[in-house]
Amino acid sequence: MNKNLKLGMSLALTTALISGIANFITKIGVTAVKNPVVFTTLKNSLVAVFLIGLVLFLGKMKEFKSLNRKTWLKLLTVGVIGGSAPFILFFTGLSLTSALAASFIHKTLFIWVAILAVWFLKEKITKLQIGALGLFLGGTFLLGGFQNFHFGKGEIMILAATLLWAAENIIAKKVLREVSSVAVASARMVFGSIILFAVVAWQGNVGLVAGLSGQQWLWTLIPSMLLLAYVLTWYTALKHAPASVVASLLVPATFVTTILSTIFLKSPLTNLNNLSGVLFAAGIILLIVNHRKSKFSKVNVSQTQPWA
């Protein structure tokens, strides 16, 4: 396995850990702030501010100045279908369902990404990778995906958000061939936040921001920091590894959410939950074995550095 692919897969697993924690924490945050659209707008805007600071710190402004109109259009598209509309759908849906149900639906992302990656990115899915996908899917089901599950309004919103994020993965993978992961993450969050603020203003809820308590701001800041870590590790992983692989390695995040629910919400950890953890681990091992001698295209040394 070359260094490029190893970095991508390692960061994808890191993203899974962050995602599992974030899904649990964000459920508390969206409940505390009450209005899901205001919550996600504030959270994403904070991340956008952090990323602008990171762009300035890393001296990435020159990169933005050199982009052509076509690349800017791709970045804008990423911001619209990745950084705005799906967040509104997801967090509105999350306020109507459980964190576990939301996590389960969102974790089907790897299926949609794999399908789109084969079609639009010409990625090849090997038999071992199909086996890994099957293990991840089985682990997701065993984790309680259909236990007391009903497909209501909240679930439909989260599914719609997941499909938009799947499309974003494909577009982002293409634009990451041209620009750095920090640039794509920044464009996604900045453009997305502008659109989200416009929606909040249109709904007449700008005044709600001034009325937030210190505790509500705290439950906005914590998920924001997790989202910042998520987008940075996710886009860097996506730059260095196939989209289908990176999306698949995000699936175990559901198990992390389950463990946290068990510890803090006293939710029972069943034998099926434990078995799902085994299947996730087996799926990860299978992917590693599959790509041990991968011929995934190599890039120059500078590209193998994080945030390149």
**Letter string b/e over residues 72-102, b meaning 16 or more CB atoms within 10 A of that residue's CB:** eebbebbbbbbbbbbbbbbbbbbbbbbbbbb
Q: Domain containing 229: what range?
A: 3-304
Q: What is the pLDDT of residue 224?
A: 95
Residues 39/29, Cβ–Cβ less than 8 Å: yes
Range 161-180 average pLDDT: 95
Q: State CA 5 to chain mean position distance.
A: 19
> Is the predicted pLDDT of residue 23 greater than 80, yes or no?
yes
Angle (CA) 293-296-298 rounded to 5° is 110
d(CA 81, CA 103) in angstroms, rounded, equals 19
Q: Which residue has the tokens 């994080």?
A: 306
d(CA 33, CA 29) in angstroms, rounded, equals 6
Helices then strands, each counted (H, E), the chain: 15, 0
> Is the predicted pLDDT of residue 174 greater than 60, yes or no?
yes
> Is the predicted pLDDT of residue 16 greater than 60, yes or no?
yes
> Is the predicted pLDDT of residue 305 greater than 60, yes or no?
no
Per the structure, the count of domains in the chain is 1
151 pLDDT band, cuts 50/70/90, is confident
**Cα-atom radius of gyration of the chain, to the nearest Å?**
19
Show Cβ contacts of residue 25 under 8 Å, excluding neighbours closer than 6 positions: 222, 223, 226
